[in-house]
């Protein structure tokens, strides 16, 4: 239970930073409040992923080689963790084709999900977390399931085809992970000190 509170608090603190940031970027660059709200929801999801997987931040970087490169090792005996890894990436596969036309192609969404998961696994070398090939596989499966769900939604609601610029996805991801690396840890520490 504490872990869910911790993750929620970390993502909530990020949201406090991301909301004004995205409103400023909307005035300067996006110029579409509806789209910006969608981007903000996506960014808060990414901040939640960051909080769940324990990516390094400016206040905590430690080289720790804890890894598993053997596919399927403990994957089925620890089925709960595998299922949660799948579920964690369903929103990624869902949001990409909803917002960005390029990701309506299955291959681009699959590649983005795989590369995102790979980046997370590589960055976990610099944390207390384990780099695990099974996480890479289950996260990619989650991306595929999210993509399939998005295709169903787009078929049910024709006329909702994505129209956002593809480069926006990299801007949204960059802003979110920049906030999570450089700013959020300091604000989260203040909140934790206040709570404790």
Look-up: residue for tokens 């610099």? 126
Contact indicator for 93, 149 with CB cutoff of 8 Å: yes
Compute the distance between CA of residue 60 and CA of residue 165 in angstroms, rounded to an integer. Answer: 34
pLDDT of 3 reads 66
Diameter of the chain measured on Cα atoms: 50
Beta-carbon contacts of residue 72 (< 8 Å; ≥ 6 apart)? 134
- Residue 2 pLDDT level (bands cut at 50, 70, 90): low
Compute the distance between CA of residue 71 and CA of residue 110 in angstroms, rounded to an integer. Answer: 19
Each residue's pLDDT tens digit, 134-191: 999 999 999 999 999 999 999 998 877 787 889 999 999 999 999 999 999 999 989 9
- Residue 78 pLDDT level (bands cut at 50, 70, 90): confident
Burial 153-165 (b: 16+ CB within 10 A, else e): ebeeeeeeebebe
Compute the distance between CA of residue 172 and CA of residue 99 in angstroms, rounded to an integer. Answer: 12
Using alpha carbons, list the distances in angstroms from residue 7 to 4, 38, 119: 5, 21, 20
Q: SS3 breakdown of the chain: % helix, strand, coil, rounded to 5?
A: 75, 5, 20
Each residue's pLDDT tens digit, 89-104: 999 999 999 999 999 9
Give residue limits of the domains in the chain.
2-195
């Amino acid at each position: 239970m504490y872990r869910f509170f911790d993750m929620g608090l970390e993502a909530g603190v990020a949201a406090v930073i991301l909301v004004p940031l995205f409103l400023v970027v909307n005035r300067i660059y996006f110029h579409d409040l509806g789209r910006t709200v969608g981007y903000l929801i996506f960014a808060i999801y990414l901040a939640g992923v960051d909080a769940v997987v324990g990516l390094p931040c400016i206040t905590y970087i430690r080289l720790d080689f804890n890894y598993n490169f053997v596919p399927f090792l403990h994957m089925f005996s620890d089925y709960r963790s595998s299922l949660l890894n799948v579920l964690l990436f369903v929103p990624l596969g869902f949001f990409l084709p909803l917002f960005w036309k390029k990701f309506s192609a299955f291959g681009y969404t699959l590649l983005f999900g795989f590369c995102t998961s790979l980046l997370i696994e590589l960055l976990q070398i610099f944390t207390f977390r384990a780099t695990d090939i099974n996480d890479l596989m289950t996260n990619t499966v989650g991306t595929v399931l999210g993509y399939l769900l998005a295709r169903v939604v787009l078929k049910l609601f024709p006329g909702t085809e994505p129209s956002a610029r593809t480069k926006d996805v990299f801007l949204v991801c960059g802003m979110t992970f920049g906030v999570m690396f450089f700013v959020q840890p300091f604000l989260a520490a203040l909140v934790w000190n206040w709570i404790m």
